Amino acid sequence: MNFQQTTILITGAGAGIGRELAKQAAEQGAQVIATDVNEITLAETNLLAGGILRTYPLDVANATAIQQFADQITPTLDPVRRLILINNAGVALGSGPFSETHLDDFEWLLNINLWGVVRMTKAFLPFMLTHNRGHIVNISSVFGLAGVENQSAYCTAKFGVRGFSDVLRMELLDTDVRVTCVHPGGIGTNIAAAAKRGKGGFITDAMHRQGAASFAKAAKTTPQEAARVILDGVARQKARVLIGNDARQIEWITRLFPTRYVAILRKQIQKAFATE
């Protein structure tokens, strides 16, 4: 795929993978529409990309804002260009086991990580279908391949993104609208450090710092490499993209041991995040 003939719309472009996707897509000649809830970091992304991005503040947890954004943007899209929607925006939650997780926090995360994907797709899929051309890229996670303790909300959202992507792919088989689901392993972003602390107070300051430090140590893949792999997968129209050796290992384990993997992975995760 020649990105010079595309418009790439990216959510969560203010930092991490989203920032790198915006920069690299622009470098490859795509017309990039970058959005983020944080206008300051979004402006920094545009500056790093040479000031050529179309940037818009957008909270993907806000259904009304998404529809208003789509109503504003859709008439400006060039129908000759393939629209690529990258649903990247996401957050993390530190709340401990499900028994200690408040449903308000659970809902908060789903509203961004799952409903944000669903609503953005609902808003822009009609344009793709009208012109029988497009590509939807949904960022799931290795936590969309395996259920992991203390991540009930995050896993629920990312499994949901995976299932939603599979449904779309089947429904769109007879069209020229493609669907890619991305499963990153540990990526060196600030998502763990910026994780919201749950209302229950189960996660202490020390636990939060230890978790963020352990994640930083385990996250071997850079955002730059993750963005490169994603764009390469999109160019090749791959249905599933795995990022990092950890993602490939987890996929292999869950395929080989579809129920026993929970015990296998639990030991590995506890070892990786053990207090030193």
Catalytic positions: 154
**Tokens 């690299």 -> residue:** 24
First to last CA, the chain: 47
Cα 216 to its chain centre, rounded Å, is: 18
Residue 251 to residue 161: CA distance in whole angstroms: 16
Q: Are 220 and 112 in contact (CB under 8 A)?
A: no
Contacts 24+ apart (CB under 8 A), 258-261: 261/146
Q: Are 78 and 178 in contact (CB under 8 A)?
A: no
Instruction: Report CA-CA distances (Å) from 113 to 4, 9, 160, 259.
Output: 29, 17, 9, 25
- Collect all residues with Cβ–Cβ distance below 8 Å to 87 and sequence separation of at least 6: 11, 116, 117, 120, 121, 136, 137, 138, 139, 161
Sequence letter at residue 196: K
